[in-house]
Amino acid sequence: MKKITIGIFSFLLFTLTAIAQNGNSIYATMDAEDAASFKTLYPNDVQILKTENNQSAVFISEEVAHHIHDNVQTHGPGYIFKASEEKALSALNQLQRRPSVLDYSITEDAFVNECLDLVDSQNIEDNILLLQAYGTRYHTKPQAEQAVMDQQAKWDAWILASGRTDIHTRIYNHVNTPMPSVILTIDGANTPDEFVIIGGHIDSTSQGDKNDAPGADDNASGISSLNEMVRVLLAKNFVPNRTIEVMAFAAEEQGLVGSAEIAEEYADNGVNVAAYVQFDMTGYKGSSRDIYITTDYYNSSTLNDYLFALMDHYNANGAHNFRYATTECGYGCSDHASWAANGYDAAFPFEAAMSQDNPNIHSSNDLYSFFNTPDHATKFTKLGLEFLIEAAKPETLSVNDFSEKAITVYVKDKSLNYRLNNKVSDVTAIAIYNVAGQRIYSEKVNNENGSLQLQQFAKGFYIAQFALENGHTLTKKFILN
């Protein structure tokens, strides 16, 4: 959030007095200076519970929170929603940064450049227009949930077409919003317990009428950049060493509600997130440079330096050339703040220098026609691909090649026989999928070779997935005659 100017202060003092004082209230954390300013503006509806480490835990009128979000020019809500007073107070304790497993190396030039060449700007434009067409994706509206379910269906269709069984999606239902989030996971081949995550929020908001919140730039553009990354990785049959997750979050505009619940759960469960990068508003080129890396205190300077190094390496010249700079976004600026608040390395590349970004966000005028080109969002897709490939690192063999070399499978008398060629781990489970990608059978085992009776299945094409004790997953196509 930008610091409140005298003009904005006077404007809010006038308008906030007209808001009813008997609405619901929410717990949140805010920048301490902003909390003090809002307390002065509206003393009866802002209670500062405690201030520590330059941030405050507050109990604030929901109506005031909405009004501040709608009328103060800022990218994000400027606060982080907390489900209780206890959570708000505990959030003031600065978490020690979790150690990252990344070596921040750049080694995959050939594969990265092949992927960059496949990026298609038309796909990004089509996806922005598709999300805009919902009319609103405000978190309490039915269109918001539908957008999430349609996003999952898009990913599922791509996965099915790829024939991959190491990629899957799931819906994440939230406690503090009726809108779900959706997560795509590409299982890591060698170190699946190490996660490289990218994401952006799929909800939208608008001043006044929440039924008219097209959100073309905020954040259909970011989701569309993410989708093109996924499409390219599937087209290149990318198998990462580390697990990759792509997240479309609910209710960012209400105080990072969706991402906060997910990041907290990951932290509570000890999930090893190597790095998180946010893609929120990639469509509008409002500044002289192309990509602006935010440098707020809670962002990881090491991860930022890695993004700089990637752009220096891949985008300094040539067909994929673009330029970058830095900016500051403010407290609770976007979903990366949720991951940083839980001790994970987080970064946020943004579309412009702050205050030069799209002036139509949070309004009915946030339409694709305002920027009318996918070229800017394309640059973020390329940065995202560079980051994912270099941070997760590719398995040296493709899915099919790896399966061919690691395991032998043959069918005889409707019996599926298998044998690991180089024993490094036992098979712990076998799943059978039909041609539609539906799992039709699964069985737990504990051996390096064996057989599976399939007399109950009709003739046809199937896929066997073998889960290994070391976390690796192998797939093999076969035909029952």
Residues annotated as catalytic (active site), given as ranges: 201, 218, 252-253, 280, 362
Single-letter code of the amino acid located at 314? Y
Crossing angle for the helix pair 121-132 and 222-235, nearest 10 degrees? 130
Confirm if 52 and 89 have CB atoms less than 8 A apart: no
Task: Outline where DSSP puts E strands in 255-380.
Answer: 272-278, 291-294, 324-327, 346-347, 349-350
Q: Could you write out the DSSP letters of every residue in 373-426?
A: -SHHHHHHHHHHHHHHHHHH-B-SS-HHHHHHHHEEEEEETTEEEEEESS-SS-
List of residues 6+ apart from 404 with CB closer than 8 A: none
Question: Would you tell me how many other CB atoms lie within 10 Å of the CB of residue 137?
Answer: 29
Strands 407-412, 55-61: pairing kind: unpaired
Distance between CA atoms of 452 and 430, rounded to whole angstroms? Answer: 9
- 120: its two tokens: 């298609």
Q: Which long-range contacts (CB under 8 A, 24 or more apart) does 439-448 make?
A: 448/419, 448/420, 448/423
Nearest alpha carbon to residue 253 among 209, 200, 293, 295: 200
Rounded Cα–Cα distance for residues 376 and 70 (Å)? 26
Beta strands in 205-323 (DSSP E): 242-249, 272-278, 291-294
Would you give the distance in Å from CA 361 to the centre of its chain?
Answer: 20
Q: Which amino acid is at 457?
A: F
Report the C-alpha gap between 75 and 252 in whole angstroms. Answer: 11
Place of tokens 């003092």: 13
